[in-house]
Amino acid sequence: QSALTQPPSASGSPGQSVTISCTGTSSDVGAYNHVSWYQQHPGKAPKLMIFEVSKRPSGVPDRFSGSKSDNTASLTVSGLQAEDEADYYCSSYAGINYWLFGGGTKLTVL
Amino acid sequence: EVQLVESGGGLVQPGGSLTLSCAASGFTFSTSWMTWVRQAPGKGLEWVANIKEDGSQKDYLASVKGRFTISRDNAKNSLFLQMNSLRAEDTAVYYCTTHHKWTFDFWGQGTVVTVSS
């Protein structure tokens, strides 16, 4: 299986909204509602931001939202703040107890 | 508070072996699936292996199957990854994570494995 496809970079100004896509196939993203999103600041461990396509763990601001259409999942960050600048990774269950990650998107707050 | 602390990383020659450990606290370890995820330098995340709560099911990334073994000691709240026949492409930060509802919800800080001669 190949990694999920994410754009290498995205950017927005403070207060704006930005959407990051994550494209898979009908065998992973399209087949299951088991898509998650992780935020990783430089030198730090990843942090879960979204699970099961659109659910937020306790403590994650509601500025972060997730959705899915066919084989593509999306993470939207609304009301961008400086601390949102980080790398973002999607992941999806791919069947037969196998998980895939995306290549990551570097979000820059201008 | 969930805490996951990895250890055991280091520099190893190609073909060598290394065992990573993860000490867990702040949650009921014996009822949690656990996972190892790695990140090569400057690269993205890669799922490596899963283990069921009681150790009865283990799943592996194709490229590590037969070389890596995931295990756990529920009495000591510990997760392990035995890595044999190491290759340069195994060089990465290895993270221990909890695994709940089809996602990786808590992560350790990682331990660095470098395979080089």
Select from B95, B102, B105 the Cβ nearest to the Cβ of A57.
B105
| A63 and B CB contact within 8 Å | no
For residue range B24-36, what is the model confidence (pLDDT) as tens digits?
Answer: 999 999 999 999 9
**What pLDDT is attached to residue A25?**
95
Q: What is the 3-state secondary structure (H, E, C) of chain B?
A: CCEEEEECCEEECCCCCEEEEEEEECCCHHHCEEEEEEECCCCCEEEEEEECCCCCCEEECCCCECCEEEEEEHHHCEEEEEECCCCHHHCEEEEEEEEECCECCCECCCEEEEECC
| A31 and B CB contact within 8 Å | no
The three-class DSSP label of residue A79 is coil
Q: B53: pLDDT confidence band, cut at 50, 70 and 90? A: very high
**What pLDDT is attached to residue A97?**
85
What is the pLDDT averaged over residues A90-108?
94
**What pLDDT is attached to residue B99?**
92
**What pLDDT is attached to residue B111?**
98
| A101 and B CB contact within 8 Å | yes
For residue range A78-87, what is the model confidence (pLDDT) as tens digits?
Answer: 999 999 999 9
**What pLDDT is attached to residue A37?**
98
Choose the mutation target among A22, A75, A99, A101 for the interface with B, i.e. most B CBs under 10 Å: A99
Choose the mutation target among B5, B45, B58 for the interface with A, i.e. most A CBs under 10 Å: B45
What is the pLDDT averaged over residues B76-91?
98
What is the pLDDT averaged over residues B102-107?
94
Chain B neighbors of A97, CB-CB under 8 A: 50, 57, 59
**What pLDDT is attached to residue A50?**
97
What is the pLDDT averaged over residues B75-99?
98
Residue B99 has φ and ψ, to the nearest 5°, of: -135, 110
**What pLDDT is attached to residue B101?**
81
- Distances, alpha carbon A40 to alpha carbons B18, B60, B86, in Å: 26, 24, 27
The yes-or-no verdict on residue A44 having pLDDT over 90 is yes
